[in-house]
Structure 1
Amino acid sequence: MTDQPDNHFEGTAREVVQAHHIDGVHINVHEQPVSAPFRTPRELPPDVPGFTGREAELTELDALLDSAPDSTAAVISAVAGTAGVGKTALAVRWAHRVRDRFPDGDLYVDLRGYDSDRPMSPDDALAGFLRSLRVDGSAIPSERHERTAQYRTLLAGRRVLVVLDNASSAEQVRPLLPGSAASFVLVTSRDSLAGLVARDGARRVDLDRLSVTESVDLLHALIGPRVAEEPGRAAELARHSAQLPLALRVTAELAVSRPTTPLAELVRELADEQHRLAELDAGGDERTAVRTVFSWSYLHLPEPAARVFRLLGISPVREPDVSATAALAGTDLAEARRLLTTLRRAHLVEDVSPGRFRMHDLLHAYAVGLAAEQGTEAERVGAVNRLFDHYHDTAVRALKAVADTAGEPGHLAWLEAEIPNMLVLHDHAQRHSWPGQRQRLSQVLHDCMVTLHTLGIAARQDGDLPEALRHFDTAIARFELLAPGYCNGIRLDQAEALLDLGMYEEAAQHLRRAIPLLRELGMDEEIAKAETYQAMAALRHGDLVSARRRAAVAVRLFERLGDEHWACTARLTLVRALVAISVAHRQAPSSLIGRITALAAEFEQRGRCGEAAVAKLLAARLYVRKALPQVVRQLLDEVPPPEQTTSIDQLLLLRTCRAELAVLRGDRASAYREVSAGLAELDRFRRGLGSPELVCGAASHGRELGSLAVSVVLRDPGASGAELVDWLERTRAQAYRYRPGQSEPRESASLAELGAALGERALVSFTSSAGSIFAVVVVDGRAELVPLGESEPVLHWAGELHADLDALAPDRLPRVLVDVVATSARRRAALLDELLLHPLAGLTGDRELVLVPANALHTLAWGALPSLVGRPVSVAPSATAWLSASRRRVAGPTVLVTGPGTPAELDAAELCRPHPGAVLLRGERATVRGVLGALDGAGLAHLATHGMHEPGNALFSHMELADGELRAHELTRLSRPPGHVVLGAAELTVADEGHGFAGALLVIGARTVSAAVSRVGLNAAATTCAEYHQLLARGTSPAVALAAVTSVDPLRRPYVCLGAG
């Protein structure tokens, strides 16, 4: 921006510039090409229970954050590198306190700097961070400097908290430092990291032992009233425990396990143990005190439990389950379970998940030392060999059971859970030169990979595409480093499944990431297939130029390889793109017709009758443009009748050709019959898909056929509004006609049904055809068709208004910028009002409205248009969807959910006051299972969670919860969908025609969904939601309540009511 008049802004509207002198402003918002959507990571471990003290250190960290521009990183280090002082606990506690100040997420990694095996390399840490930031494994560079550059690029300009735990050196940390000051890095280490301080400007926070008072407070929190009864003895226990939090927790557990023993006696025992282990007290080094406490706990163990403790120290598998522990120790399951329980009660191991355990790294190091001191080499080798045998033999049995269709699901679950541990063992065998064990595990791991791939292929053939994708995802995530070539073959099957689901953009992203590695590995055939799938994805997504280019590349590659079978497939994809381009431009090049005719003949010669039929149908479409009905008829007669195996694409292409021929001949009735037959075939196809997410993914099928029917109606001077309503409802938003658990779709809404349900309201359904936009208004039981002029100005101003509202969203913009952008937004809103609503005013009056948008109007902030400010409006994907939603009844409890990392301003707990007795799920309680259970039968649900919209298939959109992602299609499990859902986080906005997560909620049966259609500032969102819920609690309907609260500031409260309102 300059100081000159006619100022010009360009960019993403993410950044705010300070205005000095403004005479005129032009704001141009560009879509920036990115390899994948930025995923907001939320990786902090759970907060530490019983945390006490450290107020000075927490305050110091707060001060460092407040002065973050002057500091790159804060390093937490124990004096003299003392272990167990609570560095991680402090870091995690503080990170949880401030995570709402990092809207772009938090990254966490345990660098294992003092692990007994080997620290995590910066390369591996960077790979993990890049995956957390939604970078596919195949797109992660092999060189460290390239990984660092990619990582810093992704974090540039974003405010992310990065926690690097247990670092061993500055060299391990430096590649993980972001390149911009917007992020904050918190490092914990036993080393002072002087090099990081001197060279990288880090500020060190020295963490000493707890004070005696703080130690006693911690003991009191863990032991209870006995500490208050014997405060002096408790202080002695603290001193004997070196005032180290980890040692204090071990001491406290022993005290709890002996409730009748006075603390004085425990103090004497600990003192005696210290005397007996005096040889470990090397000059009063605090590390020896820690070892003393561990030794004291260890020496109280029965010998079988002590032996298991030592063996766990030498196990390459750091998080074994009970069966693996039994193998390691050479015991049965019952004995292993009993011994692990003993160790867990002594705080010498901790639960990771049900039946799975791990050791803190300090305890692990202690166990390693004990195993070296007290065991023999033969015992150690024997134990690890038993572990290898256990994993190999169990995996072989599980693979056999999975191959047997009668096998139990538990075998597959075991394989998926234990593959990472088998990979660890494989690495251990390679590093320690155990070729026999490595070879055995290599074969088993290869079989696991092939099995997952095979299961994915089988699921796809059975039509269970979500299950197919799950298997493909698991195989790639586990084995891409071990077998990159094979995994890129899996990616091609993954892309096919995504294309089947209608997730074209995600399929294209996977393929784009795979191609560079395929080139590196010299896998030319797979590269050509990937280019073909890329072309198919682009074609279905409507990117015709890209489809043509990629298909042409694929043709050349297959011809060079001499693979004529696949070359023909690629040629067919190419001519489909060329025909689509010609149809869009109303052209019919003779050269293209000749090319298609030759391809059809080649397919027939090769016995590929289905593809020959498709080629002839493509030629027929071009002859329609040449107005040669006899030639079209001849080509259609040459196409064999469809068979049971004929694809839905081919069936609909045939119906489209027949309908276009009928239009060419002026036979509207026949055209309508062909469209109706095609839609019936599409209904049968969708019913066969079974799950709503597949129906949603199939939305693109038949879109062109439906558009043809609507265009025929609109070109007929005598067409009625009722006729247009009928065809619009038969062809648009078809996913909303299918309910989970119902085999038959709902019938499309009739005009009579709509008139009766609307009452005093008016429904306006928009549509476009041949560059023009139309509205059909349903009011008082009649339908009126109103032409609204050209589409281009409407789409242009809708996009400009959306950009203005995004630019206005941040809470703290300079007033002069707010005034300029708001003036622009109001002008654009007024223009849209004039174009879209003013011509309808004579029909709609001041009635409450139900709006059915088209194209970019799905994301329009309707409440910002002058004639709609303060006016109740409901937005629906179709009139049928609105009618269905309006018939649902809302009853049940109120549920308030706050997901991880949600800013404090949006915490759903703030909404408890208007809803006493509401079910509140936040923090660790906001799990996938917990939220699903609470939503089942809820009357009102408020979801304040981060999430991600999936543009190709709304039912694969997700929200982030404490234990992972909840994908929208999982809501189909609910027996009673929630009645009214409020989406309180900006990421779950109404994103496109599919309406994102909001649309998915309507698909599964919600009555009303309230959500934003563009970015919203935190303060505006919090205030809007608070006022909205107050009105809802008084019994105000959602549409009326939302109209009231958005009218206060229409430009910064861009919310809509989807569904019934």
Structure 2
Amino acid sequence: MDAAAALAAVDRDPGSGLPLAERAARRAVRAGHAAAASTAERAWGHALLHRGDLAGAVRHLGRAVAWGTRAGSPELTAEARHKLAFAVLQRGRPQAALREVDAALPDLTGVAAARARAQRGIVLHNLGRLDEALGEYDTALRVLRREDDRLGVQRMLINRALVHADRHAFAAAARDLAEAEQLARELGRPLTIGLIANNLGLMETLRGDVPAALRHLDRAERIIGAHGAQLGTLHQDRAELLLSAGLTAEARLAAERAVSTYRREHRHLKVPEVQLLLAQAELLAGDPGASGRHAAAARRGFRAQDRAAHAELARLRLLQARVAGGARPRVPAAVLDAMLATLATAGWPGAATDAALVAAGLVADGRPYLARAAAAARSRGPALVRARGWYARALQCRAAGDGPGTLAATRAGLRILDEHGWAMGATDLRVHAAAHRADLAALGLETALATGRAAAQLEFSERARASRLPATPVRPPDDPVLTELLARLRAVTRELAERPGARLLARQAALERRIRDRSRHVTGGSAGAADRPASARALGSALGEWGLVEYTRSNVITIVDGRIRVRPLGEIGDLVDRITFAATRLDHPATAALLKDAAARLDARLLGPLPEVRGRPLVVVPTGPLHSLPWSLLPSCAGRPVTVAPSATLWLHAHARAAGGGPVVAVAGPRLTAAAPEAEAVAALHGGTALTGAAATVEATLAALGTAGLVHLAAHGRLSADNPLFCDIALADGPLVVYDVERLPRVPHTLVLAACASGRPVVRTGDELMGLGVAFLARGAAQLIAPVLPVPDLSTRPLMIAFHRGLAAGRAPAAALADAALRHPEAAGFVCIGAGFR
């Protein structure tokens, strides 16, 4: 009786049932009661399985088999065998697990046989034999439903859902998991609800819904962690999700946690799977050598486990790493064909598409492989798989000499990725997801350059940069939890300013992580205008007397008087770094000379070859390090109105944005001697309001930002390159961060951020930008004036007063800044960003 009660208790909650199983097993062994000992040892082993003690689980389940044999009960022996099979599987021996299940099945009937069939399905799933696994689950479910074994049905539904998800039958997977969760609630199994949430997260990852997946995984971690159960699978699923969103550094950390957890728990089966994720993460991060090492280790692990399909997946990742490293491995066509067939049969369409693309580059005639990869373009698979299909279709067209077809295919692939990115509400997710656009965007730009058509080059230059900014911004819903977390972050930051310490720094980092994770739950909208880059005609009409200069990595595009021209861009080397270094050290004669020389040389390379823009006010669209260049330091830009824009499309949207009216507000942050006089002088020039001292709180500033037409912020600014959404401006009660800006219902038409480096963006793949100034543009500001360099407090005040006098007299922001800079050299660090002459 004790043994049966212990087994039932472990089924309900392995953690609390473990002590009961231990006591029951010891009593049964002392009494020599073989049947009870087999049952209790099985319960003990089952509990240890859930706690991650695989060695202990195998030991006790082995004893359960032995006691069942001693009791002369084939049924007890078989029950223990199929549970032992799961433990053996987790230790990385799937073939041995299959032998245990097959040995158990002849001695089981009814519900017990159904459960063993389900265990066989789990083993087959891990071996990549998805159709066979699904058949076993279907057979088992019919028996369990007939016998009204609700616990068995719940378990079976979870396992079948995972097979459905791997086959990309997401609707079927969702139905199974919803029914399983309902049964778990009725049966009072809270840990199981956490495991189901984990599986929902995995399913949404495969489907491509990143915010939904994050919500499920965060819920799973709370529940599973509260019950002290295994977290290795959750870390693995989180790594896969983060990788799909392009968050390679976070994915690597999650994968490393999964590996260490699996090794600690002796769950060797899962280690090669995570090594594959590490291989992908390193490849996306640009380290093919490390990627290849992880892929090779994974392949060795899979081969030792007799997991043929997974070993072929590891072969694919190894080939991708070698190709990315510049090698051209010699692989027989028969081996490539076998790899492709295995991956397709295993139900991994994304891997099969990647394999076809790799194979196409390794054989003399890759057209048949490209055709196979291109088939994914019109499939019903996830966005990333369909986009890879369009990339293959573009390569097909290029091989056939079909330039228009190549461009059409790249447009289609980029459109899918834009829709995928805009389904994510969080800025960092959208920015990092843009990494998946890199191959398509580069191919489109390369093809456009080869056509010699300037309009096509402009189009694909635009498609390759800042794709998220021109579309309608996503405002997160009001969230009291996020509001509370931001308030707590401000309180900790205030304490740190007064008494720095490791404990407070740890609290600050933990709060920032919670704010980041919470914000990622928000679902986005549609790509909208982001799919339609500005045309040369529309830009020419809006520019008037101004000239537009847009830089790519290798070319420069100009539009003047409606005419578009394209020229090669000379090498700029480290000149931007030299200028930014020297501009912050002007008190030293050597750096002054360095600045003058570097600025003259860079000016000659960037603007010297462009006679059509001489003497004209400029709209500049930078790339890479040019986003951080203080343009007024270039000799030809001295006294010249220049406005900078992340893309020509964004500039056109900003230029068309009418001023919404509203008051003028100037805000002064703490610990700056000249900030309050500066704010009061600016407010007086415009007949506006100044917020200074204790009145300049985050709440008051956000209220002003939500109602004013022009806001001037004079405060300390902080650039957080590692975590750009925590770039901030210091106010009386703590920092105003990017997350605060993103929650505003509206922002002013024009902003002046007189705060160090507040206009300097953090540049990600595809010229996607993050930072405080970018956040205001993304929310709808038409233009802002901000420094890309540190600026001195006391010398900024006369500059800002001169600038605002120009604004008050009706000068456009770019012109007012250029005028002020002639009289105040300290203006060198400031740039005008956005519309500029509205």
Same-fold status (TM-score > 0.5): yes
User: Match of 1:938?
Assistant: 708
| 3-state SS, counterpart of residue 832 of structure 2 | strand
- CA drift of 1:846 comes to 1.0
Amino acid at match of 1:714: L
**CA distance 1:565–1:779, change in 2 (3 Å):** same
State which drifts further: 491-500 or 655-664. Answer: 491-500
User: Match of 2:246?
Assistant: 502
User: Match of 1:745?
Assistant: 529
| 3-state SS, counterpart of residue 545 of structure 2 | coil
- CA drift of 1:945 comes to 5.3
Is 1:765 the counterpart of 2:550? The answer is: yes
d(CA) in 1 for partners of 2:747, 2:392? 41
d(CA) in 2 for partners of 1:951, 1:667? 42
- CA drift of 1:500 comes to 4.0
Is 1:1040 the counterpart of 2:815? The answer is: yes
Paired residue for 1:854, among 623, 627, 635? 623
Does the 8 Å CA contact 1:862/1:1056 hold for their aligned counterparts?
yes
**CA distance 1:497–1:820, change in 2 (3 Å):** same
- CA drift of 1:823 comes to 1.3
State which drifts further: 547-556 or 851-860. Answer: 547-556
User: Match of 1:883?
Assistant: 652
| Residue pairs, 1:384-399, within 5 angstroms | none
Is 1:914 the counterpart of 2:682? The answer is: yes
User: Match of 2:540?
Assistant: 755
Amino acid at match of 1:781: G
Amino acid at match of 1:915: A
| 3-state SS, counterpart of residue 736 of structure 1 | coil
| Residue pairs, 1:358-377, within 5 angstroms | none
| Residue pairs, 1:591-602, within 5 angstroms | 591=331, 596-602=336-342
State which drifts further: 984-993 or 452-461. Answer: 452-461
User: Match of 1:674?
Assistant: 409
**CA distance 1:879–1:692, change in 2 (3 Å):** same
User: Match of 1:652?
Assistant: 387
User: Match of 2:632?
Assistant: 863
User: Match of 1:729?
Assistant: 462
| 3-state SS, counterpart of residue 646 of structure 2 | coil
User: Match of 2:356?
Assistant: 616
Amino acid at match of 1:851: V
User: Match of 1:826?
Assistant: 596
d(CA) in 1 for partners of 2:704, 2:196? 36
Does the 8 Å CA contact 1:459/1:467 hold for their aligned counterparts?
yes
User: Match of 1:996?
Assistant: 770
**CA distance 1:651–1:920, change in 2 (3 Å):** same
d(CA) in 2 for partners of 1:466, 1:945? 33
- CA drift of 1:864 comes to 1.4
The Cα RMSD (Å) is: 4.1
Is 1:804 the counterpart of 2:574? The answer is: no
User: Match of 2:282?
Assistant: 538
d(CA) in 1 for partners of 2:694, 2:768? 30
d(CA) in 2 for partners of 1:489, 1:922? 51
**CA distance 1:561–1:942, change in 2 (3 Å):** farther
**CA distance 1:1057–1:615, change in 2 (3 Å):** same
Gaps of 5+ in 1: 1-442, 810-814
| TM-score for both structures, normalised by structure 1 | 0.49
d(CA) in 2 for partners of 1:839, 1:581? 35
Does the 8 Å CA contact 1:798/1:856 hold for their aligned counterparts?
yes
User: Match of 1:291?
Assistant: none
d(CA) in 2 for partners of 1:759, 1:498? 45
- CA drift of 1:465 comes to 4.4
**CA distance 1:641–1:462, change in 2 (3 Å):** closer
Does the 8 Å CA contact 1:986/1:1015 hold for their aligned counterparts?
yes
Deviations 1:59-98 (A, max 9, x none): xxxxxxxxxxxxxxxxxxxxxxxxxxxxxxxxxxxxxxxx
| 3-state SS, counterpart of residue 390 of structure 2 | helix
| 3-state SS, counterpart of residue 681 of structure 2 | coil
**CA distance 1:1050–1:854, change in 2 (3 Å):** farther
- Higher fraction of helix: 2
d(CA) in 1 for partners of 2:273, 2:692? 47
| 3-state SS, counterpart of residue 839 of structure 1 | coil
Amino acid at match of 1:861: P
| 3-state SS, counterpart of residue 448 of structure 2 | helix
d(CA) in 1 for partners of 2:209, 2:646? 26
**CA distance 1:682–1:483, change in 2 (3 Å):** same
| Residue pairs, 1:647-726, within 5 angstroms | 647-686=382-421, 688-689=423-424, 694-716=429-451, 719-726=452-459
Does the 8 Å CA contact 1:532/1:550 hold for their aligned counterparts?
yes
Deviations 1:385-425 (A, max 9, x none): xxxxxxxxxxxxxxxxxxxxxxxxxxxxxxxxxxxxxxxxx
| TM-score for both structures, normalised by structure 2 | 0.61
- CA drift of 1:911 comes to 1.3
d(CA) in 1 for partners of 2:731, 2:223? 23
- CA drift of 1:872 comes to 1.3
Equivalenced residues, count? 587
Deviations 1:643-676 (A, max 9, x none): 6542333323222233223223322222222223
Percent identity of paired positions between Structure 1 and Structure 2? 31
d(CA) in 1 for partners of 2:400, 2:774? 40
d(CA) in 1 for partners of 2:614, 2:205? 52
State which drifts further: 468-477 or 687-696. Answer: 468-477
Does the 8 Å CA contact 2:246/2:436 hold for their aligned counterparts?
no
State which drifts further: 980-989 or 824-833. Answer: 980-989
State which drifts further: 506-515 or 531-540. Answer: 506-515
User: Match of 1:114?
Assistant: none
Does the 8 Å CA contact 1:1009/1:1058 hold for their aligned counterparts?
yes
- CA drift of 1:496 comes to 3.8
User: Match of 1:1006?
Assistant: 781
d(CA) in 2 for partners of 1:667, 1:458? 38
- CA drift of 1:603 comes to 1.2
User: Match of 1:377?
Assistant: none
Does the 8 Å CA contact 2:678/2:800 hold for their aligned counterparts?
no
Does the 8 Å CA contact 2:706/2:747 hold for their aligned counterparts?
yes
d(CA) in 1 for partners of 2:674, 2:223? 36
Does the 8 Å CA contact 1:449/1:479 hold for their aligned counterparts?
yes
| 3-state SS, counterpart of residue 794 of structure 1 | coil
Amino acid at match of 2:457: L
- CA drift of 1:879 comes to 0.9
| Residue pairs, 1:15-414, within 5 angstroms | none
Does the 8 Å CA contact 1:893/1:940 hold for their aligned counterparts?
yes
| 3-state SS, counterpart of residue 591 of structure 1 | coil
Is 1:548 the counterpart of 2:292? The answer is: yes
Gaps of 5+ in 2: 1-187, 475-524
Does the 8 Å CA contact 2:313/2:343 hold for their aligned counterparts?
no
d(CA) in 2 for partners of 1:898, 1:527? 54
Does the 8 Å CA contact 1:798/1:860 hold for their aligned counterparts?
yes
d(CA) in 2 for partners of 1:959, 1:457? 38
- CA drift of 1:558 comes to 4.8
Does the 8 Å CA contact 2:756/2:790 hold for their aligned counterparts?
yes
Does the 8 Å CA contact 2:394/2:409 hold for their aligned counterparts?
yes
Amino acid at match of 1:664: A
| 3-state SS, counterpart of residue 603 of structure 1 | helix
d(CA) in 2 for partners of 1:448, 1:760? 64
Deviations 1:283-319 (A, max 9, x none): xxxxxxxxxxxxxxxxxxxxxxxxxxxxxxxxxxxxx
Does the 8 Å CA contact 1:456/1:471 hold for their aligned counterparts?
yes
Paired residue for 2:697, among 898, 922, 926? 926
Does the 8 Å CA contact 2:709/2:749 hold for their aligned counterparts?
yes
Q: Which of the two has higher C-alpha Rg?
A: 1
Does the 8 Å CA contact 1:568/1:603 hold for their aligned counterparts?
yes
- CA drift of 1:775 comes to 1.1
d(CA) in 2 for partners of 1:535, 1:574? 8
